[in-house]
Amino acid sequence: MLKRTSTSVGTISAIDLQTWRVRISHFDGHSHELVYDHLIIALGAETRFFDLPGVEDSCLTLKTLGDAVSIRNQLISNLEEANSEWADGEREPLLTFVVAGGGFSGVETLGGINDFVREALRFYPNLRQDSGSVRAGDAG
């Protein structure tokens, strides 16, 4: 959409406002200098677990594409298990998903999970729309 726009992902080590240059380091260790007309800096975010015992070990975070794949795989595992004949009476816990964090990414994650599960239900004959729930919470 923005034909004359380029993006770069990395860690900024220096910005020279007089010469309109920025030095960026990348994860593989190399760095280079870029000239800019307009500089937009998107700051990263840090996941906080608030020192609650067991939270970090039992949750999935959403920072990378790999994290998104892990969440999708967990959703499919839960759907598969809830669909099995022996899961009757145990379905609701398998189909209840909690998203902590009420910011933009939390809301988008919640909507994505909701849409994914509702669209997938047609492939699971033992599951119905009212089999479980998707819940949101704000951890901070």
- The pLDDT, as a whole number, for residue 102 is 65
Tell me the per-residue pLDDT of 16-73, one tens digit each, with 9 for 90 and over. Answer: 999 999 999 988 889 999 999 888 887 767 787 888 898 888 888 888 889 899 999 9
Is the residue at 49 inside a domain? Answer: no
Question: And the tokens for 129?
Answer: 């729309």
Amino acid at the residue 89: G
Q: Do 30 and 24 form a contact (C-beta atoms < 8 A)?
A: no
Whole domain around residue 94: which residue ranges? Answer: 55-137
Residues 68 and 127 grouped into a single domain: yes
Residues 78 and 15 grouped into a single domain: no
Q: Do 39 and 15 form a contact (C-beta atoms < 8 A)?
A: yes
Residues 83 and 59 grouped into a single domain: yes
Residues 74 and 39 grouped into a single domain: no
Residues 64 and 97 grouped into a single domain: yes
- The pLDDT, as a whole number, for residue 116 is 93
Number of domains in the chain: 2
Is the residue at 89 inside a domain? Answer: yes
Residues 85 and 109 grouped into a single domain: yes
Q: For the chain, what is the mean pLDDT? A: 84
pTM above 0.85, yes or no: no
Residues 84 and 103 grouped into a single domain: yes
Residues 12 and 68 grouped into a single domain: no
User: How many CB atoms neighbour CB 67 within 10 A?
Assistant: 12
Residues 60 and 38 grouped into a single domain: no
Tell me the per-residue pLDDT of 83-138, one tens digit each, with 9 for 90 and over. Answer: 998 877 788 888 888 888 767 788 888 889 989 998 999 999 888 777 555 454 54
Residues 74 and 133 grouped into a single domain: yes
Task: Return the CA Rg of the chain.
Answer: 21
